[in-house]
Amino acid sequence: MQIISSSNQRNELYEKFKLKIIHNSCLDRSLVSYQGNRQTPFSSWFKYREGFSERLVTYLLQTFKLEPGVLIDPFSGAGSSLFSASALGWQTTGIELLPVGIFATQARIIAEKIDVESLNLEITKLKQINFQDYYDQLFIFNHLAITRGAFSSINEEQLVGYISYCNNVIPNKDISTLFLYAAFCILEDISYTRKDGQYLRWDSRSGRSKVNSEFNKGEILSFEDAINRKLKQITSDLNISPIQLDLFSDNLLLKFTTNKSNTVENIEPNLYEGSSLEILPTLQDNSIDFVITSPPYVNRYDYTRTYALELAFLGCSEEKVKYLRQQMLSCTVENRDKRNFLEEYYTAKGCYQDFLKIDSTFKNQAALQEILIILENNKKQGKLNNDNIVRMVGNYFYEMCFIIYELARIIKPGGIVAMVNDNVRYAGEEVPVDLILSDIAESFGLKTRYIWTLGRGKGNSSQQMGNHGRTELRKCVYIWEK
């Protein structure tokens, strides 16, 4: 494809969608993301930074579909969409690749039905013990290369003693899992590390030889303090009254009153552990009413590095972490091409024609091909700070084509897809993720109802889409319908 001017195709796409790009003042950052969000009790236990707020899910469901139906989130993370929707009576399914989100979701399912009295009793017993006394070699912390030295020796010894106690002494499996989850939630607090987007940042006190910065993360809690605080938070949230819960979310209030009065059926989320690229193609045509999701953004954030402590805690080996990194939707410079795999997978399922359609949609997305050529030129001129950025951007959209194709196939006519995502920029060149994905969605029969922008406004106009390093990038919620 011949590119005439550097932002021609993107400008054309902008013209196509400009009337759909609408600033939605109801959607501020605090409603959409975990970070600025007034958290509900359960979601505040574990800081899943990539999570979105449960109020956003309630807002979307109440705006578009008042009657409960079937909802799926193919990148369900810690499960915020699943829990808020099921509290409103929806039947929900989540797909999540990383054991981190899976464990957080399972722990919450357990927490929601735990016997609080028995839990309080076990906590009282726990207060009497010395964790080191229960230390069992069987439960040593199997570090990954990138987590070694993350804890002081006293914290690690206590952590292992506590894990051993949970596994060897606590008779009730659910309480033991919830106690283990409490330890999982404090790993960062008791370590020399801080999660920082693409990697783990190390505190200079760690003594790790490679650390040459002056970074100081502030107070590092002792294991004992941290676990006591976490368990206190968990029990006080579980003991909380419906009136108090209302301070956090109408949705949760409904859930609690629901549990007691049985007026709305509260169905447990159904969870798949694995890649959406493999699981979505196994789901039935026209079977879903609503998709609410936030895929990884094409921003180089590597969840397998930032959540390395949690992955090690969950027993993931070095090989398993590398495998997960490659299975993730391509959003890091290390992700390799999944084209051959997808071709074989679709062929084996007897869906080769679908594969060809998806593959050609990718190749014919003109604005995307324009960006890939520009990025390739930037790479040749040494203007990218990592050469694999071009590959990452290409693979990201390639895989998203498969995801969107499958979503368009599985939702019912009249069904809605709501997707949260941010635009990005490399070498000063804007990648209008919102416009490209919406155009791909339209190729597969979806209609773009809105591209709602958050934050200050509409972001770049078409004239600014070329190399303008300082202009605001859109952060959006796209609404597509079938």
Ligand X SMILES: C[S@@+](CC[C@H](N)C(=O)[O-])C[C@H]1O[C@@H](n2cnc3c(N)ncnc32)[C@H](O)[C@@H]1O
Q: Which of residues 266-325 bind ligand X (CB under 6 A)?
A: 275-277, 294-296, 303
In this structure, are strands 475-481 and 411-422 parallel, antiparallel, or unpaired?
Answer: antiparallel
Shortest Å distance, C-beta 302 to ligand X:
10
Residues 6+ apart with CB under 8 A from 203: 192, 193, 194, 211, 215, 216, 217, 220
186 vs 292 by CB, closer to ligand X: 292
Shortest Å distance, C-beta 270 to ligand X:
15
Q: How many residues of this chain bind ligand X (CB under 6 A)? A: 24
Q: How many Å apart are CA 78 and CA 101, to the nearest integer?
A: 4
76 vs 193 by CB, closer to ligand X: 76
58 binds ligand X, rule: CB under 6 A = no
User: Is 76:105 a contact under the CB 8 Å cutoff?
Assistant: yes
Q: Which of residues 387-416 bind ligand X (CB under 6 A)?
A: none
Q: Which of residues 141-160 bind ligand X (CB under 6 A)?
A: none
105 vs 193 by CB, closer to ligand X: 105
Q: How many Å apart are CA 253 and CA 55, to the nearest integer?
A: 12
206 binds ligand X, rule: CB under 6 A = no
Binder among 68, 89, 99, 101 for ligand X (CB under 6 A): 101
Binder among 329, 368, 372, 411 for ligand X (CB under 6 A): 329
Binder among 32, 72, 88, 95 for ligand X (CB under 6 A): 95
DSSP state of 249: -
Torsions phi, psi for 462 (to 5 deg) = -65, -35
Question: Which sign, positive or negative, has the C-alpha torsion 316, 142, 229, 190?
Answer: negative
Torsions phi, psi for 19 (to 5 deg) = -75, -15
User: Is 118:173 a contact under the CB 8 Å cutoff?
Assistant: no
Binder among 51, 68, 99, 161 for ligand X (CB under 6 A): 51
User: Is 228:123 a contact under the CB 8 Å cutoff?
Assistant: no
Binder among 14, 45, 52, 151 for ligand X (CB under 6 A): 52
Binder among 27, 85, 87, 98 for ligand X (CB under 6 A): 98
13 vs 56 by CB, closer to ligand X: 56
Binder among 7, 89, 96, 290 for ligand X (CB under 6 A): 96
User: Is 73:81 a contact under the CB 8 Å cutoff?
Assistant: yes
First to last CA, the chain: 30
Residues 6+ apart with CB under 8 A from 309: 147, 150, 187, 188, 191, 193, 200
48 binds ligand X, rule: CB under 6 A = yes
Q: Which of residues 69-88 bind ligand X (CB under 6 A)?
A: 75-78, 80
7 vs 293 by CB, closer to ligand X: 293
160 vs 329 by CB, closer to ligand X: 329
Shortest Å distance, C-beta 406 to ligand X:
12
Residues 6+ apart with CB under 8 A from 316: 99, 144, 324
Shortest Å distance, C-beta 80 to ligand X:
4
95 vs 454 by CB, closer to ligand X: 95
50 binds ligand X, rule: CB under 6 A = yes
Shortest Å distance, C-beta 304 to ligand X:
9
Shortest Å distance, C-beta 224 to ligand X:
29
User: Which residue's C-beta sits nearest to ligand X?
Assistant: 77
* Tokens of residue 140, six digits: 């040593």
162 vs 303 by CB, closer to ligand X: 303
- Which residue type does 369 have? Q
146 vs 328 by CB, closer to ligand X: 328
* Tokens of residue 249, six digits: 């979310």
223 vs 402 by CB, closer to ligand X: 402
Residue (of 74, 71, 77, 73) closest to 92 by Cα position: 71
Residues 6+ apart with CB under 8 A from 115: none
| CA separation, residue 10 to residues 1, 363, 366, 472, 479 (Å) | 14, 15, 8, 16, 20
Binding site for ligand X (CB under 6 A): 48, 50-52, 75-78, 80, 95-98, 101, 275-277, 294-296, 303, 327-329
